Structure 1
């Protein structure tokens, strides 16, 4: 009898442990997804607010598009610093501290009166916005098994796209109905609510830190060895370039198409023009399904199909009809998020050590692409309008196609399964 009771007790403890583990995994995925939504709402809000920013600060709309480039630039390099920081103090604290500081900066934006001040504030925000992207995939890798990593990464990237859509639509609604101070007050409230949710849900990190390393401040050369380790990997270098080129085209196309749709013959309003960002929903679906498609088709085919979708969607917009433009952006967003979610998960998979640094290098290249894309496409826009943007995009996508072909045809033993399955 005692042996039977002992058996049931062990079974109950086992079930409890499994349920507790499943609950922590769910809390981790939900909390980092909410955190990413707060981050990307703040990052892309200005993209939907271009008319309001232009009027409030007396600059041209095309000049206002550079705000996204400035934020992406500081975000790109801050990703590297957060990756080092996370290896020193863990994942959880830097994420929470950066989110609360972001809320404070959103509140400070209420008192901005000059465009130069806004540029400086967005540069500071860019540094804080790097925290979650730099650590999310490493956090997943630390806490989840390999089987759950791809799915968690896919859900996380889908949350990124939802946050991007929400930020742009919210920015468009603000531009239509609110003044600058009212818009920033609303943003502060949204950021605070999201941060409180993350604080409640985010589980404790089990990342183990070498105790001797915790007291070594300031940063030393040894902290950056992980970056050199990953940059020495030729496949990772190509993967970083793929992410940067793809995002360089995609995110900045969405900025310039707004300007095109606000001009004749479309003459769309401030909020109406931001509805183009609903095309990101196809990317949300692609992100969510990417893990299954990679498992079924293999990364080679997924990459090739993604680049073809980006090219086809971009060229379709030359028809210069609202239906064709929306269909083109639906196809482009699908292709972009499919390649991005695959890259993001593959980098985390391939990195056997210094995982946060591997992800940070990928995202650094990714956001540097976004920062460079605005200035790169601006001369094309000034000379030939939207047709010029398409021309500049096709040139960049042709280079992307060549890089992808080199990547999928290269061979190495490490990570072979991931690219050749």
Structure 2
């Protein structure tokens, strides 16, 4: 097994982090461009957000395929092939001229982008020691946030100066370089044991994960938190593009630097469990999400930025702990369990725009925050239930469900 702080650990973690950053740069490149797309194609706020929603939706659905498939045929080959497909589609997106074509290709792009997120943590679970997994997952998820920041910054900067289509071209070229590095750096699986691909067994595995209440609570937290966190960023771009802020696409891209507080939270999530149990850490993260949301109600750009920084810290802390929680509880079909976690995660995000739309129509940004607090209250209840259910959970995220 790969132990923490060894050369193999550093190379494998670097490869997975680069791959993760590439995936999320491609996923989120449009988010700082939503007002631009709305103006270019004469769209409503909700219609413009479809360019992100459809990619998240197909990414989430693809996880149902890649997780079980990788349990049968291996981890690295699927990650490489799907990353290559994502690169090609991203480059094709730089050539489209209609919004319908953009949505079609963004849907296809999402299907390819699901390969690495579905498998990466399962790869760690196969190849890394338990201690190494805890450390690597936090760093890996911090790379998610860095990738999201990179994509949004590139989208905003290139989109403002060269047009939205050029933003896809820039991300596509960068992604191709990352793919080459990924193939070279990531070691081949040494401890993977294939499992025959039987649909009945897959359904049984999924059913077993869903019947495990400790896993199910983590799944629900993942979906609820990401549902709100991601879509708050989408709606705030329309707030900040309008009076009295009038921010440009480049300036909107800079807002996503607030993700860097989440990078810090994810990187140190493993250390949090040395002081608190994982459910307590998750609850603290959700309280940060609630507090950060309330801060954004202050009509000041600096307050909004601080609010999103607090929310980002809380979101990635909770996400890192919940991801590790699922990895440690799935004693078989680990990739299927990780995939199911991410299905909830991305399905939540894909419906969040629609769920928050009535709140937006009702009270604008105030309505968004009221809807957000409602959902966060439910995810906080899940974390508190986990604490009550598993009060013997040890401080290193090694638990036996009661």
TM-score range, shorter chain: over 0.9
Show the counterpart of 1:297.
276
Whole-Å Cα distance in 2 between the matches of residues 207 and 47 of structure 1?
A: 39
Whole-Å Cα distance in 2 between the matches of residues 289 and 72 of structure 1?
A: 27
Q: Could you say if the C-alpha distance between residues 183 and 371 of structure 1 is closer, same or farther in structure 2, counting changes exceeding 3 Å?
A: same
Count of aligned positions: 400
Matched residue SS, 2:29: helix
Match of 2:103 among 119, 123, 144: 119
Q: Could you say if the C-alpha distance between residues 114 and 289 of structure 1 is closer, same or farther in structure 2, counting changes exceeding 3 Å?
A: same
Higher helix share: 1
Show the counterpart of 2:320.
341
Matched residue SS, 1:318: coil
* Larger displacement relative to structure 2 (399-408 or 84-93): 399-408
Give deviations 1:18-63, integer Å, cap 9, x for gaps.
Answer: 9999322221101010000110000000112213323443423442
Match of 1:326 among 291, 305, 317: 305
The 8 Å contact of residues 33 and 164 in structure 2, kept in 1 or not, is answered as no
The 8 Å contact of residues 2 and 132 in structure 2, kept in 1 or not, is answered as no
Which runs of structure 2 are paired with 1:221-236 in the superposition (5 Å)? 221-236=200-215
Match of 1:257 among 228, 236, 241: 236
Q: Deviation at 1:417?
A: 7.2
Matched residue SS, 1:325: helix
The structure having more radius of gyration, on CA atoms, is 1
The 8 Å contact of residues 38 and 191 in structure 1, kept in 2 or not, is answered as yes
Match of 1:72 among 29, 50, 56: 56
The 8 Å contact of residues 51 and 61 in structure 1, kept in 2 or not, is answered as yes
TM-score under structure 1 normalisation? 0.90
The 8 Å contact of residues 57 and 113 in structure 1, kept in 2 or not, is answered as no
Gaps of 5+ in 1: 1-16
The 8 Å contact of residues 48 and 170 in structure 1, kept in 2 or not, is answered as no
Which runs of structure 2 are paired with 1:325-404 in the superposition (5 Å)? 325-404=304-383
Give deviations 1:200-245, integer Å, cap 9, x for gaps.
Answer: 111101243448x3xx6xx532233221221111110111001111
The 8 Å contact of residues 247 and 370 in structure 1, kept in 2 or not, is answered as yes
Give deviations 1:148-195, integer Å, cap 9, x for gaps.
Answer: 110000110011110011111111112211124422321221111111
The 8 Å contact of residues 3 and 9 in structure 2, kept in 1 or not, is answered as no
Show the counterpart of 1:11.
none
TM-score under structure 2 normalisation? 0.94
Q: Deviation at 1:412?
A: 8.8
Q: Deviation at 1:377?
A: 0.9
The 8 Å contact of residues 3 and 129 in structure 2, kept in 1 or not, is answered as no
Q: Could you say if the C-alpha distance between residues 25 and 123 of structure 1 is closer, same or farther in structure 2, counting changes exceeding 3 Å?
A: same
- CA RMSD in angstroms comes to 2.3
Which runs of structure 2 are paired with 1:21-420 in the superposition (5 Å)? 22-210=6-194, 213=196, 220-411=199-390, 418=397
The 8 Å contact of residues 33 and 155 in structure 1, kept in 2 or not, is answered as yes
Gaps of 5+ in 2: none
Matched residue SS, 2:30: helix
